Homo-oligomer: A and B are copies of this chain.
Amino acid sequence: MKDEFEFIESITPRQTDQASLVKGIGDDAAVYRGSDEYDEVICVDTMVEGVHFRRDTLTPFQIGKKALAINVSDLAAMGAQPIYYIVSVAASADWKQEELEDVYKGMFDLAQEYKMDLIGGDTVSTPDTLVLTVTVIGRVERNRAVYRHTAKPGDVVFITGYAGRSAAGLDLLFEKGVNGSFSLEEQKLVKAHQEPQPHVKAGRILCQTGVRVSLNDVSDGVASEANELAEASNVRIHIDARHIPIDEAMSSYSREQQLEYVFFGGEDFVLIGTVKEEDFSKVEEFFKEEGLFITKIGHVLSGEGVYLKEENQLTRLEKKGYNHFQKRG
């Protein structure tokens, strides 16, 4: 049951510096080296046309790039370095060969940043819709993977970038269409939706500091992800509205709208996590050295739930899931 990899191979020259790869594309399986020094981290995500992406807001190139980014972000949230990816494409007849090639090219574009190798996959047909399943494999120094369940009362809550931009960009795409006329700020938000950047370097720094960290990636909005941290760690989280970093590109939005996007938007792929109060400045220093920023946005307490602190009022932030195509207000 060998599949046709001709066009994949043509756009994915084997990266010969990946010495650990014993064998690449061609057979039905890929073989790679294990190592006593590392733990392996594996993630699988499936994106379905019409459910997770639409062709009127993303090009095939962007669909591919984003499908890989979602998985790479899962690795980043574990502190892992991405190494390999495997792509299963179930495509309907209305997807042209060149569009499918663009999907692979988009993945390749992101993969190159991390020197990831495409080591296998499967191409099959479906009656309709494109179903993209991406598997990524990463590595993290043994026993150093970072989890969600390790937050403790007394920790500070941090975020590694701007949340809310992707959802704002999606609303702009709905409003003006993919070929609409966008201001420079709007273009930035649209780009954040179409080609989100996973925070791999941030995840690696947090893993390598050696201090206790809890971590999650913001794929479903800050409210949902903070709730996941709180639930997994059995703690309560307070988020201070004043400290949430807002991208300048969103400065024309009302405060209410900004926070709506941050908390209930999704697919920003920044990281949210916690670290001991006294370790935060050390972590912040590491980030600065790498030209990155990290912002303290709240505190961990004993108890449960996630609360937004605004002008001395506490409002519970429910774990509302991000609905990809439900128009937000």
**Chain A residues within 8 Å of B, Cβ to Cβ:** 1-2, 22-23, 26-48, 50-52, 70, 74-75, 77-78, 80, 84, 86, 88, 90, 119-122, 124-129, 131, 133, 135, 137, 139-140, 142-143, 145, 147-148, 217, 219-220, 228, 232, 266
Contact = CB atoms under 8 A, between A and B. Distances in A.
Given A27-B78, A33-B40, A43-B120, 14 more contacts: A1-B74, A1-B217, A2-B220, A29-B74, A31-B41, A31-B145, A36-B36, A42-B84, A46-B88, A51-B124, A51-B126, A88-B133, A90-B131, A126-B131
A32 B40 contact: yes
Given A42-B137, A46-B88, A128 B131 contact: no
18 contacts: A23-B145, A28-B77, A29-B43, A31-B39, A31-B40, A33-B40, A34-B36, A43-B120, A44-B86, A44-B88, A46-B124, A48-B124, A50-B127, A51-B124, A51-B126, A51-B127, A52-B124, A135-B135
* Secondary structure of the A contact surface, majority rule: strand
Contact of A126 (B48, B120, B125): B48
A27 B147 contact: yes
Given A40-B40, A51-B124, A133-B133, A77 B46 contact: no
A90 B228 CA distance: 23
A30 to B, nearest CB: 5
Nearest to A43: B29
Contacts of A39: 22, 31-34
A31 B128 contact: no
